[in-house]
Amino acid sequence: MRVGIVMGSKSDLPVVSKIGGVLDELGVAWEMRILSAHRTPAQAEEWARTAQERGIGVLICCAGMAAHLGGVVAAHSALPVIGVPINASLGGMDALLSIVQMPPGVPVGTVGIGSAGAKNAAWLAVRILALSDAELAARLVAARAAMTAKVLNDDAELQQQLG
């Protein structure tokens, strides 16, 4: 299964590209589009509605300001949707609140604002896909073990420096 990534504007690409980087590291295929909930609503609906047919297992929606993209996508797909708030104005708080405050029955799992949130959206998508993919689950476990090893190695170096 692949991950579908959509952003509301080309200006979101520097943040959204972080998602592809994490997915590439973990060997997960993905597609990426620029579609607006407000400027291209029919195309956003079509993309969401046909995602599962294209082999998509999780959708990641990245938007700033009013940030309705995740809600529009969730309204037209039964797939898990993860929202990434982009800092386009008001420190990203407007986008965060727009994404996280969805009506009951139309959930959009929401991560943090900006690049860290984008990376966590990718990690969360991988965790979801790994529930039904043993090979991916093994890669996820290995990646987490590598993170642990790096922190422990950094600590060992610090302890040696402190003597």
Measured CA to CA, the distance from residue 89 to residue 8 in angstroms comes to 14
Coil vs helix vs strand at 85: strand
pLDDT value of position 146: 97
* pTM of model > 0.75: yes
For residue 95, name the pLDDT band (cuts at 50, 70, 90): very high
Structure tokens at 115: 């690049």
Mean pLDDT value across residues 15-34? 98
Q: What is the chain's mean pLDDT, rounded? A: 97
125 has pLDDT over 90: yes
**Distant-in-sequence, close-in-space partners of 161: CB < 8 Å, separation ≥ 6:** none
Contact 27, 138 (CB under 8 A): no
| One-letter identity of residue 3 | V
Sheet containing 30-34: give its strands across.
30-34, 2-7, 56-64, 81-86, 109-110
DSSP states along 25-49: HTT--EEEEE--TTTSHHHHHHHHH
Mean pLDDT value across residues 139-146? 97
Mean pLDDT value across residues 75-81? 98
Mean pLDDT value across residues 100-114? 96
CA distances from 99 to 60, 85, 123, 153 (A): 12, 7, 19, 38
For residue 55, name the pLDDT band (cuts at 50, 70, 90): very high
pLDDT value of position 1: 84
30 has pLDDT over 90: yes
pLDDT value of position 152: 97
* Whole-number percent of the chain with pLDDT over 70: 100
